[in-house]
Amino acid sequence: MTTPWSPSRLGNLTGKRIIVTGATNGVGLGTARLLAGAGAHVIMAVRNTELGKRRAEEIGGSTSVLKLDLADQASVRAFPELLDGDVDILINNAGALSQQRADTVDGFEMTIGTNLLGPFALTNLLFPRVRSQIINVGSDAHKSATLRLDDMHLRTHKWTVMGAYARSKLAVMLWGLELDRRLRAAGSPVVAQLTHPGWVASNLSHLSDKGPLAIAHRAVKAVADVLANDIEEGAAPTLYCISEPIPPGSYVGVDGRFGLRGGPVLIGRSAVACDYRAAARVFEFAEHETGTTLPV
């Protein structure tokens, strides 16, 4: 019988510096808490720094809180100036699910702007200061997505809440595929992995309790509070990438039925998410929109 994975597998991370985006709530908070508990210095990159400071006090250990709004490219570009020194690991955890179609201050569709273009630019800008690993939080929602490379901002095709979210996560999966390819081709010491946290109840907290989705939100959350992973279980696939000797480019999810909950394991991705040609086009789209590229 195999022993279930546990955070003790992280060992002693004293001396390691790790950025976690979106570290005030949900999986990001669980990730930050467990990394700090293992001795790492956790740089909490968050929109709300006041909440971030309160979370840092609750977490304890060695932490710092820096301002980062992934929906604002100016904030992304300012972030490296706020960061002191290099880091060992960059965890692109933060993500958004919007209730209605909106554009970022840069004119990007909000979901793709926050979930892909913000982390993409951040990774490129920080890359010279990342020593060992980049972990991008994707989602099995990508398996239901239609990519629409000709309309990534959904300006002509129909926009739906879950359609936009799934597409953004498919784009993240393809970015991760091309990122891994480029790192290996360049012989970089930095490795990249993708993760799927499973179904985590707290990740629904960004949906409002007002408006047309309110009743559905409350019903789903009531079920999720009973059946879904808690935030530390949701963090496990990300932490598994740090603690286990897995190959570069791996996709780590959960072993439960339908990918909803369970312990961390290597999992498969959709055929589209394995398409290197589509991955290159997503990378080119993100380069064009953000004006950044990976300096390898």
Q: How distant is the alpha carbon of residue 116 from its chain centre?
A: 9
CA distance 77 to 122: 7
CA distance 222 to 201: 9
Assess whether 251 carries a catalytic annotation: no
Cβ atoms of 91 and 18 within 8 Å: the answer is: yes
Residue 254's DSSP bridge partners are 264
DSSP code string of 170-196 = HHHHHHHHHHHHHHHHTT-S-EEEEE-
CA distance 85 to 32: 19
| Catalytic one of 165, 240, 251, 276 | 165
- The DSSP H or E segment spanning 18 is strand 17-21
Residue 193's DSSP bridge partners are 135
CA distance 150 to 285: 10
Angle between helices 118-126 and 161-185 (to 10 degrees): 20
DSSP code string of 96-148 = ---SS--B-TTS-BHHHIIIIIHHHHHHHHHGGGEEEEEEEE--GGGGG----
CA distance 134 to 170: 18
For the chain, how big is the Rg over CA atoms in Å? 18
Active site residues: 165
